[in-house]
Amino acid sequence: MQRITITVDDDLLDQFDRYLADKGYGNRSEGFRDLIRDRLARQSLDAADGGTCVACVSYVYNHHERQLSRRLVEAQHAHHDIGVTTLHVHLDHDNCMEALVLEGPTPAVRDFAETLAAEEGVRHANVHLVPVRSDRASHSHTGRGGTATEHSHHHPRT
Q: For the segment 87-104, what is each residue's pLDDT rounded down to a tens digit? A: 999 999 999 999 999 999
Q: What are the boundaries of each domain within the chain?
A: 10-46, 52-135
What's the pTM?
0.68
Q: How far apart are CA 91 and CA 70, in angstroms?
A: 18
* Top-confidence residue, 41 or 155: 41
Whether the CB-CB separation of 70 and 61 falls below 8 Å is answered with: no
CATH of domain 10-46: 1.10.1220
Predicted pLDDT at 148: 65
Q: How far apart are CA 131 and CA 45, in angstroms?
A: 6
Predicted pLDDT at 41: 79
pLDDT score of 156 more than 70: no
Predicted pLDDT at 109: 94
Whether the CB-CB separation of 124 and 62 falls below 8 Å is answered with: no
DSSP assignment, residue 103?
Answer: E
Q: How far apart are CA 99 and CA 88, in angstroms?
A: 7
List, in order, residues 6 or more apart from 116 with CB less than 8 Å away: 57, 59, 72, 75, 100, 122, 125
Q: Measure Cα distances from 144 to 45, 138, 140 in Å.
A: 43, 20, 13
Whether the CB-CB separation of 96 and 122 falls below 8 Å is answered with: no
pLDDT score of 155 more than 60: no
pLDDT score of 5 more than 80: yes
Top CATH class, 52-135: alpha beta
Residue 134 pLDDT level (bands cut at 50, 70, 90) = low
Mean pLDDT of the chain: 86
Predicted pLDDT at 135: 58
